[in-house]
Amino acid sequence: MSRLHISKLYQEIYKRFDALTPVPFDCGALCGKLCCEGDAESGMYLFPGEKKLFVGKDNFSVLSTDFIVGGKAVDLVTCHGPCKREERPLSCRIFPLIPFYRKGSTLEIIHDPRASFCPLTHPEAADCIDEAFIREVRRTFELLIKIPAVANYLDALSYVLDDYQKLNRW
């Protein structure tokens, strides 16, 4: 699939999450929008092929990271102030969920272990995330893992997630 097609695919996927949210109310009111408290150097990893949609875009900067997958640095997007919902990258749209996928294994949709600050991932909020939201995240990644670059990225990311899961258990 060409980069052009991947961009279009992400734009279609974004639409699925324009109105769909992890819970059917503004969870930002619970926590003061903790997940949007990034700074100039903290942000969200971009999925392979997503970068093109954020380079040069107002309110966003794209940075290279030292997370290398297939010989290439994974990109990070940072935002400068509140964004418009329809401009969010995929990581923000699926937060606080994340696909856990190792090549040759089955796809799982889990609470992102890097999101332990998010009240929706806390044990007392177990099962509060909307089933329709979880289904859409699963449907999205069942599609995206068919793209080799995304499968490779998720395979590498699964080791990072594993490390966070271990840290969270300490």
Contact call for residue 35 and ligand SF4 (CB under 6 A): yes
At residue 118, what are phi and psi to the nearest 5 degrees?
A: -80, 125
Peptide bond into 96 cis (omega under 30): yes
Contact call for residue 30 and ligand SF4 (CB under 6 A): yes
Single-letter amino acid, residue 167: L
DSSP E strands, 36-161: 44-45, 60-69, 72-79, 97-100, 108-111
Contact call for residue 24 and ligand SF4 (CB under 6 A): no
At residue 101, what are phi and psi to the nearest 5 degrees?
A: -145, 125
Query: For residues 110-139, which are near ligand SF4 according to CB under 6 A?
Result: 118-120
Q: 102 vs 128, which CB is nearer to ligand SF4?
A: 128
Contact call for residue 63 and ligand SF4 (CB under 6 A): no
The least distance separating ligand SF4 from the CB of residue 29, rounded to whole angstroms, comes to 8
Contact call for residue 31 and ligand SF4 (CB under 6 A): yes
Contact call for residue 79 and ligand SF4 (CB under 6 A): yes
